[in-house]
Amino acid sequence: MFDEDGSRATGPLAGIRVLDITSVGMGPYATQILGDMGASVIKVESPEGDVFRHTAPARHPAMGAAFLNLNRNKRVIMLDLKVAKDLAALKELIRAADVFVSNVRPKSLQRLGLDYLSLQQSNPRLIYCGAYGYSEAGPYAGRPAFDDIIQAQCGMAAFQGASNNDTPQYVNTILADKVAGLTIAYAIPMALYERERSGAGQAIEVPMFETLVSFIAVEQLAGRTFIPPLGDSGYARVMSPHRRPYRTIDGYLALLPYTTAQWQRFFTIAGRADLARDPNFSDATNRSENIDALYEALAGIVATRTTAEWLRLLEAADIPHSEIAKFDDLIDDRHLNAIGMVYEYDHPTEGRLRGIGIPTKFSRTPGNIRIVAEALRSAGAVDS
């Protein structure tokens, strides 16, 4: 699966050279996706290394699990940008790059001569992506930000706590980092596509706060979409206190009839013809207006049978459903294993490891996994 120099790049970004000075989750997630899709990524780290290197669990220092899972398909070099020769080495690498990605705050980059206007002079085709907490165009510019801070500030924590006595809660994943990372990963290829037509590079700004506000607003802007408002923010279906995994006689089940046909089939297999005829649930508009009552009824129905009984009935009726999986269960998931999504490999320093593969498939230029997450190495270890 892996080769020594990354020469087997097959993806749609093969031949694109990326200089990555990001750390933690947002930037490394984005540049790993670019690397998976064939880009040649050089990850530049300080002598202390990316902070995620030091996150437990780990077999050896500076090679934590989160780092291993975010930094494949990259060559790693160590540069101390406070040292003139190291800063010069980085600028030389950028001069030959197609893309430069950073999550360092812009004022710090400007002091180092790593701002877009400075780098554009030596590389006018450069795609320059700055990813940080807040847009430089607003009063929050320059504030420090991490995932928890953005989850709180964008409204996500309040929405998560709405059905728990309004106690704010974080989502149990670094969602803000990963959503912003995905945004970086789609913005850069767009800029590269435009460069093919214009011949010119440009600067991209991906601020976490604005990105997450946009992400949440899709459904949660709700009644505040309209002026004057047609109600408060908050999408009623996902905010319902009865929207949850439903208890069966012996466990739990995820269940979501959605279309009218699916609801009618569900009421039939549940033996609830009365609900099938109920005008409150007859079409999508009425169900939306009565969503709490509908989900409360659903919870009561699911509680009358075992999980196995429901799985059989729902499968036969082609109604969206799932067992409640623990993440550990996915290692042996028959679907994921059938498509090779869960794989094992030997790391040169960390021993036998497990990874999760590339979810997107290209018919002609598929991405591939070529390089394991590396230990820190000196600047001389990677050619420009």
pLDDT at 379: 53
Annotate the chain with three-state secondary structure: CCCCCCCCCCCCCCCCEEEECCCCCHHHHHHHHHHHCCCEEEEEECCCCCHHHHCCCECCCCCEHHHHHHCCCEEEEECCCCCHHHHHHHHHHHHCCCEEEECCCHHHHHHCCCCHHHHHHHCCCCEEEEEECCCCCCCCCCCCCCHHHHHHHCCHHHHHCCCCCCCCCCCCCCHHHHHHHHHHHHHHHHHHHHHHHHCCCEEEEEEHHHHHHHHHHHHHCHHHHCCCCCCCCCCHHHHCCCCCCEECCCCEEEECCCCHHHHHHHHHHCCCHHHHHCHHHCCHHHHHHCHHHHHHHHHHHHCCCCHHHHHHHHHHHCCCEEECCCHHHHHHCHHHHHCCCEEEEEECCCEEEEEECCCCCCCCCCCCCCCCCCCCCEHHHCCC
| CATH number of 141's domain | 3.40.50.10540
Residues 142 and 41 in one domain: yes
Cα–Cα distance for residue pair 310/299, rounded to 1 Å: 13
Answer yes or no: do 263 and 148 share one domain.
no
What pLDDT is attached to residue 43? 97
Q: Do 313 and 342 have their domain in common?
A: no
196 and 270, same domain (yes or no): no
| Cα-based torsion angle of the residue sequence 347, 350, 354, 357 in order, rounded to the nearest 10 degrees | -50
User: What is the model's pLDDT at position 195?
Assistant: 98
Q: Both 264 and 350 in a single domain?
A: no
Domain count of the fold of the chain: 2
Instruction: Answer yes or no: do 163 and 273 share one domain.
Output: no
Determine the structural domain holding residue 62 and report its residue range.
Answer: 17-215+336-381
Q: Are residues 41 and 104 in the same domain?
A: yes
Let me know whether 189 and 286 are in one domain: no
Residue 4, pLDDT score: 45
Residues 76 and 163 occupy one common structural domain: yes
Rounded Cα gap, residues 369 and 356, in angstroms: 10
195 and 313 both lie in a single domain: no
Clarify whether residues 46 and 166 are in a common domain. Answer: yes
Instruction: Tell the residue number behind the tokens 């094992």, with chain if given.
Output: 344
For the chain, 384 residues long, give each residue's pLDDT as a single digit of tens.
Answer: 454 444 588 999 999 999 999 999 999 999 999 999 999 999 999 999 999 999 999 999 999 999 999 999 999 999 999 999 999 999 999 999 999 999 999 999 999 999 999 999 999 999 999 999 999 999 999 999 999 999 999 999 999 988 778 899 999 999 999 999 999 999 999 999 999 999 999 999 999 999 999 999 999 999 999 999 999 999 999 998 889 999 999 999 999 999 999 999 999 999 999 999 999 999 999 999 999 999 999 999 999 999 999 999 999 999 999 999 999 999 999 999 999 999 999 999 999 999 999 999 999 999 999 999 999 876 544 443
pLDDT confidence of residue 209: 97
